[in-house]
Copies of this chain bind each other. A is one copy, B any other.
């Protein structure tokens, strides 16, 4: 959260207290299941988590891939049932935050609502970009957008990341995220390799021609967010 705009010391302390209740999950475990009673929000500290919804024909759509540091299930604050399953796709540790505790936090530190608002708006933009990618855009384009999104978010997380990262999703999961079948993901991945955009070595993906990928994906780099509108701390 502090990446957006500095917190006052007592705000930071209050947030930290919330994060004390850490738990861990192994690969494949569900952190929250769709339609469960929504009691808690989750802050991801280690590992990758997917937010997905199951459709009544058995297919699955992965709506987001969460990386460490992100707040997950923020809608749980205000809906009675969990809208999307959260599933650990690697070893995961995360902090569970009670819905009531979150409400108290906002009551005690009203300025934090603005921070959450900024995060929510940012994610809304990301989702809008994903809608554009899914609605228009070939399989190759969707895949390119998906890879670039992951790469850029990992860069923000760890500045030592340059042009490669370890893909922690199976091709089946990539398909569920991009709206393709696993088979087609495989073929498109291969196509990206053959045209020289990327290379692969095991789970490692290296981006060779980023401008080309960006063009292919219609990728828009979202500019840094302006936080000057967040009220000053008293």
Residues on A facing B (Cβ under 8 Å): 51, 53, 55-57, 59-61, 63-64, 74-75, 77-81, 83-84, 99, 102-103, 106-107, 110-111, 113-114, 116-118, 120-125, 127-128, 130-132, 134-137, 176-179, 215, 218, 222-223, 225-232
Measured between alpha carbons, how far is A81 from B61 in the docked complex, in Å?
A: 30
* A63 close to B231 (CB less than 8 A): no
B63 touches A131 (CB 8 A): yes
20 contacts between A and B (CB under 8 A): A53-B132, A55-B136, A56-B218, A61-B131, A61-B132, A78-B121, A78-B227, A81-B223, A83-B128, A83-B222, A84-B128, A107-B231, A110-B110, A110-B113, A113-B117, A117-B117, A120-B124, A127-B127, A127-B131, A135-B178
Q: A106-B114, A117-B113, A132-B53 in contact; A125/B83 too (CB < 8 A)?
A: yes
**Min CB–CB distance A14 → chain B (angstroms):** 14
Q: Given contacts A79-B223, A110-B110, A127-B127, could you give 8 more A-B pairs where the C-beta distance is less than 8 Å?
A: A55-B132, A61-B131, A74-B121, A78-B118, A81-B223, A84-B128, A131-B131, A134-B134
What chain B residues lie within 8 Å of A125 (beta carbons)? 75, 79, 83
Contacts of A81 in B (CB 8 A): 223
CA distance A122 to B226 in the complex (A): 22
Using known A-B contacts A77-B121, A229-B102, determine if residue A130 contacts B131 with beta carbons closer than 8 Å: yes
Tell me the bound Cα distance from A222 to B215 in angstroms: 36
Q: How many copies does the complex hold?
A: 2
Q: Are B127 and A75 in contact (CB under 8 A)?
A: no
A55 contacts which chain B residues (CB < 8 A)? Answer: 132, 136-137, 218
